[in-house]
């Protein structure tokens, strides 16, 4: 064997793995400063370190398509590697995800994190695989409340109001029953629709309310805290199947380890976002009749979730409430 050939072979053996870095492209609808994006970037740092620079994660920001249904389709067909999306987006395709979005089922941050970190969370993540995605973990999203052109303190206040809902959301049927008109719409259109009078109300957390600049057009934020749907880190199943078992383990472990980092960011971000909204003149309604909302909405739980296994899951979630 000639010396030149030997040198070439040694170069491949010693430098090949680091030279053959694999890009992982992830997506999020929020800007780079948002907790979910920062936590995903932290996950990317862990992946890069643990893979010896073989796996490099990059994140597409809010400048791309904002429809999470579009993002989900990209994951399923393998044109996107990874994404952080709201769990509501999966309600139609994966009925188990609806359980975590039911109103007034999960009552506190402690309760939510206990459920997501336990067997119920694992079961729901596992149920995603048959739809073409791999569930890596949850970023809990805090309490969603109602905001818009007027305060909402009781179910009666919703009558005759137009209310933005996420496409595929289970919230639409419940709003109709309470006398409101649901308007399916992506988040990117809410501010303009509210300015034009096409939508009276929407819902979200303090963080999303401010990040999307909705606090510039919605003057009232009512602490209905009606649901706590988390977001979920997903990986494309077609792409996942091309990875080695070692790389899969690195990605799963890094996703899991990013959750504690995310939660610290999220808790701080919620406090700061509320302060920013108040400074902008948003009026907060805290005298909410939560019991009236819970009584009005609880009967929908067995209607929305008809499967016996999922109904039993509701009972397990109720039993896990932090006393």
Domain residue ranges of the chain, discontinuous segments joined by + = 3-141+229-267, 144-228+275-319
Q: Average pLDDT of 300-319?
A: 88
Task: Look at residue 62 in the predicted model and tell me its pLDDT.
Answer: 59
* Mean pLDDT confidence for 64-86: 86
The third-level CATH classification (topology) of the domain covering 3-141+229-267 is D-Maltodextrin-Binding Protein; domain 2 (3.40.190)
Cβ distance 80 to 25 under 8 Å? Answer: yes
- Residues 207-263 have pLDDT tens digits of 999 988 999 999 999 999 999 999 999 999 999 999 999 999 999 999 999 999 999
Q: 144-228+275-319 falls under which CATH superfamily?
A: Bacterial extracellular solute-binding protein, family 7 (3.40.190.170)
Mean of all residue pLDDT scores within the chain:
89
Q: How many CA atoms lie within 13 A of 283 on its CB side?
A: 10
Distance CA(211)–CA(117), nearest Å, equals: 27
Question: Given a cut of 80, is residue 49 above it in pLDDT?
Answer: yes
Q: What is the pLDDT of residue 13?
A: 40
Sheet hosting strand 82-86, strand order edge to edge: 82-86, 231-236, 133-139
Q: How far apart are CA 158 and CA 171, in angstroms?
A: 13
Higher pLDDT, 322 or 268: 268
* 159 in Cβ contact with 178 (< 8 Å): yes
**Six-digit token string for 155:** 């179910």
Threshold 0.85, pTM exceeds: no
Confidence of residue 307 (pLDDT cuts 50, 70, 90): confident
Query: Looking at residue 4, what is its pLDDT?
Result: 34
What is the structure's pLDDT at 77?
A: 96
SS (H, E, C) the chain: CCHHHHHHHHHHHHHHHHHCCEEEEEECCCCCCCHHHHHHHHHHHHHHHHCCCCEEEEEECCCCCCCHHHHHHHHHHCCCCEEEEEHHHHCCCCCHHHHCCCCCCCCCHHHHHHHHCCHHHHHHHHHCHHHCEEEEEEECCCCEEEEECCCCCCHHHHCCCEEEECCCCCHHHHHHHCCCEEEECCHHHHHHHHHCCCCCEEEECHHHHHHCCHHHCCCEEEEEEEECCCEEEEEEHHHHCCCCHHHHHHHHHHHHHHHHHHHHHHHHHHHHHHHHHHHCCCEEECCCCHHHHHHHHHHHHHHHCCCHHHHHHHHHHHHCCCC
Q: How many CB atoms lie within 10 A of CB 285?
A: 18
What does the angle CA 158 – CA 186 – CA 116 come to, to the nearest 5 degrees?
A: 80
Least confident of 58-72, 152-166, 167-181, 261-275: 58-72
Same topology between domain 3-141+229-267 and domain 144-228+275-319: yes
């Amino acid at each position: 064997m000639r010396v030149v050939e030997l040198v070439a072979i040694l170069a491949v053996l010693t430098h090949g793995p680091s030279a053959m870095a694999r890009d992982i492209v992830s997506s999020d609808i929020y800007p780079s400063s948002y907790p979910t994006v920062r936590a995903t970037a932290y996950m990317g740092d862990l992946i890069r370190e643990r893979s010896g620079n073989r796996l490099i994660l990059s994140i597409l920001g809010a400048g791309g398509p904002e429809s999470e249904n579009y993002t989900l389709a990209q994951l399923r067909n393998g044109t996107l590697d990874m994404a952080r999306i709201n769990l509501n987006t999966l309600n139609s395709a994966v009925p188990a995800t609806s359980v975590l979005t039911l109103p007034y089922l999960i009552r506190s941050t402690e309760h939510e994190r206990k459920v997501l970190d336990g067997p119920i969370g694992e079961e729901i993540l596992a149920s995603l695989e048959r739809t073409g995605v791999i569930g890596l973990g949850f970023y809990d999203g805090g309490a969603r409340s109602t905001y818009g052109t007027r305060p909402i303190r009781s179910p009666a206040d919703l009558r005759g109001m137009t209310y933005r809902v996420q496409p595929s959301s289970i919230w639409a049927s419940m709003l109709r029953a309470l006398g409101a008109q649901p308007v399916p719409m992506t988040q990117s259109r809410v501010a303009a629709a509210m300015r034009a009078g096409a939508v009276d109300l929407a819902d979200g957390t303090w963080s999303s309310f401010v990040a999307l600049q909705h606090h510039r057009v919605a003057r009232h934020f009512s602490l209905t805290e009606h649901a706590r749907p988390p977001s979920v880190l997903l990986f494309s199943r077609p792409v996942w199947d091309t990875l080695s078992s070692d790389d899969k383990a690195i990605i799963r472990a890094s996703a899991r380890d990013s959750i504690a980092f995310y939660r610290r960011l999220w808790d701080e971000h919620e406090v700061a976002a509320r302060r920013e909204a108040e400074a902008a003149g948003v009026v907060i309604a805290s005298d909410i009749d939560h019991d009236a909302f819970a009584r009005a909405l609880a009967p929908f739980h067995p209607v929305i979730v008809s499967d016996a296994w999922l109904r039993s899951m509701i009972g397990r979630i109720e039993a896990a409430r932090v006393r």
